[in-house]
Every structure is written in structure tokens, then in C-alpha cells.
A and B are shown apart, each in its own frame.
Chain A
Amino acid sequence: MSADTLSLTFSALADPTRRAILDRLRRGVATVSELAEPFSVSLPAISRHLKVLEAAGLIRREKEAQWRRCHLSADPLQDASRWVEQYRAFWDERFDRLADLLEYETD
């Protein structure tokens, strides 16, 4: 994964609203309004979160004119693999920094 992809994955995991959106989509396809309903944020704010998740490759959105539904990018049967992929990227990034710190610190 490129550094940009790692940052995007971190950004997707780090925000509670985004994590909740991913969790909701694991249970099935949803429209933007359905995703927004549990939160007290505007639809445009949800749209911003969806853009981050889409840029990270974690969800995809249908292009149909009037009804826009969101899906997890992975097959729902691969939920567990998706969880593993997300957290592997997250931890790999942390451990890269840990490796640098341990190699170059002197105390």
C-alpha cells in the first residue's frame, strides 16, 4: 500500500462516524439518508465522510440518478477479511514508525 492509502485507511478508522458507517454497511446496503439518520450531522457532512471512505476504497456508491445507495467494497462474506485488511494497514503504519524510533534513538 502506498503512504497515501495508509493515511486514508487510518483516516477512515480514526473517526467514530466513519467507523459507524462501515459497521452499518456490513449489515447491508444503505442510502445516504439511512446512514445519516443515527447522527446529528447534516447530509452534506455525511457526504464528506463517505468521500473519505470512498477514497480509501472501503465503500462504493451507486451512480443512479435519484437514489444513491452505498455498499461496502468487499463482498459481505468477506467482512472478516476486510477488518483484517484495515487493521493491518493501520498497525503496519504504527510499526514502521516504531522501527525507526527504536533504530535511531540513543537512550
Chain B
Amino acid sequence: MAVGAATADVPVLNLRRIFKAPRDRVFRAWTDPERLAKWWGPETRSCPFVQMDPIPGGRWRTCMKADDGDEAWVQGEYKEVDPPKKLVFTWAWENDGVPGHETEVSIDFIDLGAETEMLFCHRGFESAEAARLHNQGWDSSFACFDAFLETGE
């Protein structure tokens, strides 16, 4: 059911799922903040913030809380919103509140009557990411000694 492929520097993830619900309910699970919060985090009650404006050009932003308490903020912009058939939005993790490298999610919802097929695609851009980081100048060349590190643990 899961297929991954990459051409050149662009990794693409394709996933396909069949959900036991009609299409409009599946679409609403993605575009209604209260519904999204119920499945978005790693477990129940771990999605403390959801904000979304599901129209083309509208923004969205969520917080996911990991098991160890770390918070992961992610935001993006809706590119296509065609209920209940199609949803396209950008996805950018935040670093200290600033959105970083942007990737794109594209979802098609296929009507199977009482069920819905979801064709999900997440497209990333590795080479652009590498270029961005290089420009931040992360090269440094002093090393550390293992003993120093071990005493800190």
C-alpha cells in the first residue's frame, strides 16, 4: 500500500488508504480543526493547537506534542481546496517560530460510496534543502573528545 520513489533530488512519498467513511466526512477530518486535532498528534490529547483557513491562499498552523514533551510546530498555505475531492497545501516545520524548508502535500479523495479512497502525496526537495543549509554556513572544523561528552551524560 505504500510506495516511495525519488527522481534526482526530489523525494516523493505516495500513500494510499481506504477509509470506512463517506468522502465528505474524510475531507472534513482534514479541514475541521476540532476533527483534525483528534488524529493529528502521536496520541490522544497531544495536539494542543490547530488553526486553519481552508481556502486557496489560506494559512494553517498546528502544534504536535511528542512523547517526551517536545513540541513540533508546522505551518503552511492551502493551494487547492476542492471539497470533497482535492486538497493541496504546503508543509513547513517551524524552527523557533520561523517556517523552514517548504514541501508540498497533495491529496485526492475518491468516492467509493460508504468508503473513501485517499491518494496522498508528499513531495520534498532535498537539493533545495541542502543548498539552504549550506548558505547558513554550518561548516566548522573543530572536534570534540569522547571523554568530555561522556561526562555530560
CB–CB A66/B145 < 8 A: yes
Smallest CB–CB gap between B147 and chain A, Å?
A: 7
CB–CB A44/B29 < 8 A: no
Chain A residues lying within 8 Å of B129, measured Cβ to Cβ, are 23, 26
Which residue in chain B gives the minimum CB-CB distance to A69?
B143
Q: Which of B3-11, B48-56, B76-84 lies on the face that meets chain A?
A: B3-11
Number of B interface residues, CB 8 Å? 57
User: In chain A between 76 and 91, which residues have their CB closer than 8 angstroms to a CB of chain B?
Assistant: 79-81, 83-85, 87-88, 91
Contact partner, B143, options A19, A33, A91, Cβ 8 Å:
A33
Q: How large is the interface on A (under 10, 10 to 19, 20 to 34, 35 or more residues)?
A: 35 or more
Return the CB mask of A47-72 against B: 1 if under 8 Å, else 0: 11000000000000000111110000
CB–CB A32/B15 < 8 A: no
Which residue in chain A gives the minimum CB-CB distance to B4?
A84
Contact partner, A23, options B19, B120, B133, Cβ 8 Å:
B133
Is the CB of B45 closer than 8 A to any CB of chain A? no
Is the CB of B152 closer than 8 A to any CB of chain A? yes
Report 5 cross-chain contacts, Cβ distance below 8 Å, ordered by A residue: A31-B144, A81-B11, A88-B4, A95-B15, A97-B39
